[in-house]
Amino acid sequence: MKGNILYLAFICFTLSLFVSSCKKQIDKSYQSQTAQATAVNYNSEHGHLKQTKEYSSEVALKWMNMQLRVIRSTAGMPPATNSRLFGYSGVALYESVVPGMPAYRSLSGQLTSLSALPSTVPGFGYNWAVSANSALAFITKQFFPTTSTDNKASMDSLENALNNSYKTGVDPEMFDRSVAFGKAVAQSIFDWSTTDGSATVWPTYVLPTGPGIWVPTFPNFPAPSTPYWGRNRLFVTGSLDNSQPDLPPPYSTDPGSAYYKNMKEVYDISQNLTPEQEAIGLYYRDNPGYVSGGHYLSILYQLLQKEQPSLDFTAVAFAQSGIAIADALIGCFQMKYKDVNGGPVTTTERPITFIRGVMGFTTWNAKFNTPPHPDFPSGHSATAGAAEVMFTHLFGENYSFTNHTYDYLNMPPQLYSSFSDMASQIGISRVYAGIHTRYACDAGRAEGRKIAQNILSIVKFLKE
């Protein structure tokens, strides 16, 4: 009798496990069906067969590399234009693929004066790699109208090669629809870019005069570069709020003054540079090379090459970084030429002027020709601060990486333990090179950081 009871208990227990197992399988099946139904409903409404996250970043990385190649070989581009290219290219890529990112929103209505953009056709599918290729090809060609015939041919070749690889297995109508959408988005972004003020013909800039005011520097004494860049339209309204650094110490020839000490530090460092410090100083010369935003585009390209994320992450990273770099340089130039941008004169002299003219070291030179604009604040430091915040936001704290930007010039790569380490080294590199005071570098970095932080708080990529 006892054996029969135990047997019945065993049978009941087994049956309960079977029922429970069946229920779990049913639950899983139901969840899968629900997920599929949700996807079908989304696709039915928006016309997407695959989301952006299902594509690799190949298309974006190849176009980033193409832009870097063209920047490097196109003469006559003012340094600030690279940051502008970075910003508009990032927005064009993002908007060409964001309809395939259901958790994300368009930047239309969020970026300054960016109105409604072309939309996808409900009920029809899109290939987001094709759309991205079309957008990046169009915007890149528009930003380099004067580049060489060889570069133009290379851009056409890349666009065609990628399209040929994407045509396999893609419905021809979907392919054409995706090409048209990407181009339409890029056309809208480019049209928007033409109204940002960068092409405005301003009056010839008249240099202010007075003690400590910037003057053209030895040896070529070039005219001031892009004095009205600070009047360009910001990508993000409010990005400069509370970002302007305190003005530098007042001009003084007194050896005990803060101003004199800032200049003397540049001289003292130049007399005791180690080979490593000299290499750091030369690394961010960026000429020949990528100048301004181009170097940060190169770094972002390397980070994405290392991580190989999906296309959605790359689109967000390109847009956020480009917008921050572009606005940081606008903010920086507002301070460099504050007399033409409203406010007191801040066109401060470069170290070479003070060291030669006041300190009396008449043959002293920086490690390379001083860039043709005022010392305060440092532009490279401002963009470094913006990149520091955005790259940390995207890739995390204490992210170590090696910068190989100038391997092609046989310059030793630079190793960083974090993006903070990167920005710190970029700032001090300008002091090592003898072209900036430490105060200008610290102020520029702080300004760039605040601008990027403002952008992260103002612009919403994710839907709430």
- Domain CATH number, residue 353: 1.10.606.20
In a domain, 464, yes or no: no
In a domain, 61, yes or no: yes
What is the distance between the alpha carbons of residues 275 and 267, in angstroms, rounded to a whole number?
A: 17
Tokens of 273: 């540079």
Q: Are residues 320 and 423 in the same domain?
A: yes
Max Cα separation, the chain?
113
What is the distance between the alpha carbons of residues 313 and 194, in angstroms, rounded to a whole number?
A: 27
The 3-state DSSP class for residue 227 equals coil
Q: Are residues 268 and 391 in the same domain?
A: yes
CB 371 within 8 A of CB 224: no
pLDDT band, residue 12 (cuts 50/70/90):
very low
In a domain, 375, yes or no: yes
pLDDT of residue 14: 42
The residue count of the chain comes to 464
The least confident of 46-50, 145-149, 249-253, 368-372 is: 46-50
- Radius of gyration from C-alpha coordinates of the chain: 27
**Considering its fold, how many domains does the chain have in total?**
2
pLDDT of residue 461: 98
User: 84-130: per-residue pLDDT in tens?
Assistant: 999 999 999 999 999 999 999 999 999 999 999 999 999 899 999 99
Which residue type sits at 391?
F
What share of the chain has pLDDT > 70, as a percent?
90
Q: Which of 374, 384, 390 is nearest to 447 (CA)?
A: 384
Which residue matches tokens 């604009």?
373
Q: Which of 329, 307, 328 is nearest to 317 (CA)?
A: 307
Q: Are residues 270 and 396 in the same domain?
A: yes
As a whole number, the mean pLDDT across the chain is 90
Among 193, 217, 237, the domain boundary falls at 193
Q: Are residues 236 and 339 in the same domain?
A: yes
Q: Are residues 188 and 249 in the same domain?
A: no
Structural domain containing residue 312: 229-458
User: 253-299: per-residue pLDDT in tens?
Assistant: 999 999 999 999 999 999 999 999 999 999 999 877 787 789 999 99
What share of the chain has pLDDT > 90, as a percent?
83
CB 311 within 8 A of CB 57: yes
- For residue 56, give the CATH number of its domain: 1.20.144.10
Taking 3-state DSSP, the helix, strand and coil percentages for the chain, each rounded to the nearest 5, stand at 60, 5, 40
In a domain, 24, yes or no: no
Tokens of 437: 């005071």
Q: Are residues 159 and 115 in the same domain?
A: yes
Q: Are residues 253 and 149 in the same domain?
A: no
pLDDT of residue 346: 87
Among 173, 193, 213, the domain boundary falls at 193
pLDDT band, residue 250 (cuts 50/70/90):
very high
User: 375-427: per-residue pLDDT in tens?
Assistant: 999 999 999 999 999 999 999 999 999 999 999 999 999 999 999 999 999 99
Q: Are residues 293 and 411 in the same domain?
A: yes
Which residues, other chains included, contact 269 with Cβ-Cβ below 8 Å and sequence gap of 6+?
Answer: 277, 431, 432, 434
Tokens of 387: 């990149």
pLDDT of residue 215: 97
Residue 113 CB-half CA count within 13 A: 14
What is the distance between the alpha carbons of residues 83 and 300, in angstroms, rounded to a whole number?
A: 13
In a domain, 163, yes or no: yes
The kind and range of the H/E element at 401 are: strand 401-403
In a domain, 304, yes or no: yes
In a domain, 123, yes or no: yes
Q: Are residues 87 and 172 in the same domain?
A: yes
CA dihedral for 334, 336, 337, 339, sign (positive or negative)? positive
Q: Are residues 120 and 252 in the same domain?
A: no
Q: Are residues 175 and 254 in the same domain?
A: no
Number of CB atoms found within 10 A of residue 300's CB: 25
The 3-state DSSP class for residue 425 equals helix
The least confident of 30-44, 73-87, 350-364, 396-410 is: 30-44
Q: Are residues 60 and 171 in the same domain?
A: yes
In a domain, 189, yes or no: yes
pLDDT band, residue 48 (cuts 50/70/90):
low
Residue 68 scores a pLDDT above 90: yes
